[in-house]
Amino acid sequence: MFDIVSETAIREGRATDAYFLRTEEALDHADRNPHVVTEVTADQFPTGEFEVLAGLKDAAHLLSGLPVDVHALREGTHFDGGPVMRIEGPYRPFARYETSILGFLSYASAVATAARETKAASPDKPILSFGARHIHPASTAALERSALIGGVDGFSHVAAGETLGREAGGTMPHALVICFGKGHQEEAWRAFDEGVGPDVPRVALVDTYSDEVDEALRAAETIPDLESVRLDTTSSRRGDFRAIAREVRWELDANGHEDVGIFASGGLTPETIEHLYDVVDGFGVGSHVSNADPVDFALDIVEVDGELAAKRGKLSGTKQVYRTPDGGHHVALEGGEAEGEPLLEPLIEDGEIVREFDIDAAAERCREDAARVGGD
Ligand code: PCP
């Protein structure tokens, strides 16, 4: 019914570029299946720009059961180019998985990186991921998982939550208010307050028809335990969003609603969040995180049957990545002398995954590593 590549197709390696199947045929024809070392990198030399690794869980599950040994950074670790992963074994059995491995890592790492930048702009106030509507529904669990690793505090997508074992959060869209009509916002807010369960935070959307201050005060007077008002003012009507939020804050306070918070959403970025940070209590972020440009990962052969190998522009030899004492990213040949903590650690040994994947642990690692690399 939907244009979705099945989990079975991914698992069986048919979620691949056709030339890998041609490669298999050619290798079989020549009876050639060299032992190779391959590495996944985004850049050959560090540039000073760190990104956050995510998507490793799915990549690991894809490779499990194959005759390979895999080393990788841990999810949430910052990297500056790479390598982030090393796959070693006879080439033919894993050749066809390159496309999906890179796909798993590229989008997830982009999202985690954008989420980390967003959370850095709001360290002590919640950031919720609202961007599921911008991507294919089949990818939403990958989006929300990666956003959590990057540091967001929650997300809105229900099925992603089911997949991840987490509960989605959310309150009301403009559609609910519009269902009751202009001038009847109180009926919408009251229906929400009376209709939804006690665990749902009472957050009223206050920009649908009227001025934000007007609707914020009316919502505060309608819902007894109103937690927050949400400002999602359409960009064409926004003017100075910070000034609107300050005015709402002022009038809520002046009218005895000091306990009512302000939640902002709609086209927010780390920069606009920083601008709003002291006058807003929480943020919903969509496209900045969900639409992040995929990290440009490539998988390259760096050794063939124990001999150095590389195409032009790529660095030959099996490498290790180190977090240097000053928070840098250092790449050196494996086994050489290098100062710092080695980051490429065993992920799969002879086809068996030897690592646990925990979202909270990865998010904590991301937070700590961000401080180490000096980004945030
Ligand atoms: C929010 C906002 C954005 C959505 C979430 C994602 O929706 O208007 O369009 O944020 P983004 O702009 O950062 O991508 P609602 O206000 O709930 O939208 P609607 O008008 O559909 O009720």
Comparing CA positions, the residue from 100, 54, 136, 52 lying closest to residue 359 is 54
Q: Are residues 150 and 284 in the same domain?
A: yes
Q: Are residues 181 and 166 in the same domain?
A: yes
AA identity, residue 91: Y
Q: Order of strands, edge to edge, in the sheet holding 329-333?
A: 329-333, 319-323, 341-342
Q: Is residue 1 part of a domain?
A: no
Average of pLDDT values for 88-115? Answer: 98
Instruction: Tell which atom from ligand 1 comes closest to the C-alpha of 288.
Output: 13
Q: 10-60: per-residue pLDDT in tens? A: 999 999 999 999 999 999 999 999 999 999 999 999 898 999 999 999 999
Query: Does ligand 1 have an atom closer than 6 angstroms to the CB of 94?
Result: no
Q: Are residues 61 and 202 in the same domain?
A: no
Q: Which two tokens stand for residue 13?
A: 């390696």
Question: Other CB atoms closer than 10 Å to residue 308's CB: what's the count?
Answer: 13
Print the domain residue range for 334. Answer: 7-111+293-372
Q: Where are the alpha helices (DSSP H) in 166-211?
A: 174-180, 185-195
Query: Does ligand 1 have an atom closer than 6 angstroms to the CB of 82?
Result: no
For residue 375, the Cα-to-chain-centroid distance in whole angstroms is: 17
Across 156-311, the runs of DSSP E, i.e. the strands, are: 203-205, 228-231, 261-265, 282-285, 298-304, 307-308
What three-state secondary structure class fits 88? strand
Predicted pLDDT at 36:
98
Q: What is the CATH number of the domain that holds 196?
A: 3.20.20.70
Q: How many domains does one find in the chain?
A: 2
Instruction: Tell which atom from ligand 1 comes closest to the C-alpha of 290.
Output: 14
Enumerate the β-bridge partners of residue 330. 322
Q: 215-251: per-residue pLDDT in tens? A: 999 999 999 999 999 999 999 998 899 999 999 999 9
- Among 257, 275, 290, the domain-final residue is 290
Please tell me the distance between residue 252's alpha carbon and the centre of ligand 1 in angstroms.
24
Q: Mean pLDDT, the chain, as a whole number?
A: 96
Q: Is residue 161 part of a domain?
A: yes
Please tell me the distance between residue 266's alpha carbon and the centre of ligand 1 in angstroms.
5
- Among 290, 323, 354, the domain-final residue is 290
The percentage of the chain sitting over the pLDDT mark of 70, rounded to a whole number, equals 99
Please tell me the distance between residue 247's alpha carbon and the centre of ligand 1 in angstroms.
22
Query: Does ligand 1 have an atom closer than 6 angstroms to the CB of 130?
Result: yes
Instruction: Tell which atom from ligand 1 comes closest to the C-alpha of 234.
Output: 8
Report the nearest-CA residue for atom 18 of ligand 1: 173
Instruction: Tell which atom from ligand 1 comes closest to the C-alpha of 173.
Output: 22
Residue 375 has pLDDT above 80, yes or no: no
Please tell me the distance between residue 7's alpha carbon and the centre of ligand 1 in angstroms.
30
Phi and psi angles of residue 118, each rounded to the nearest 5 degrees, phi first: -70, -45
Please tell me the distance between residue 272's alpha carbon and the centre of ligand 1 in angstroms.
15
Lowest-confidence region among 77-81, 111-115, 272-276, 331-335: 331-335
Instruction: Tell which atom from ligand 1 comes closest to the C-alpha of 287.
Output: 14
Predicted pLDDT at 22:
98
Please tell me the distance between residue 265's alpha carbon and the centre of ligand 1 in angstroms.
7
pTM, rounded to two decimals: 0.96
Q: Are residues 172 and 232 in the same domain?
A: yes
Q: Are residues 152 and 284 in the same domain?
A: yes
Comparing CA positions, the residue from 170, 164, 144 lying closest to residue 289 is 144
Predicted pLDDT at 376:
45
Q: 345-372: per-residue pLDDT in tens? A: 999 999 999 999 999 999 999 999 999 9
Please tell me the distance between residue 127's alpha carbon and the centre of ligand 1 in angstroms.
14
Query: Does ligand 1 have an atom closer than 6 angstroms to the CB of 287?
Result: yes
Query: Does ligand 1 have an atom closer than 6 angstroms to the CB of 229?
Result: no
Query: Does ligand 1 have an atom closer than 6 angstroms to the CB of 268?
Result: yes
- Among 242, 268, 290, the domain-final residue is 290
Q: Are residues 196 and 102 in the same domain?
A: no
Query: Does ligand 1 have an atom closer than 6 angstroms to the CB of 170?
Result: no
Q: 243-300: per-residue pLDDT in tens? A: 999 999 999 999 999 999 999 999 999 999 999 999 999 999 999 999 999 999 999 9
Q: Are residues 130 and 266 in the same domain?
A: yes
Q: Are residues 147 and 275 in the same domain?
A: yes
Report the nearest-CA residue for atom 11 of ligand 1: 286
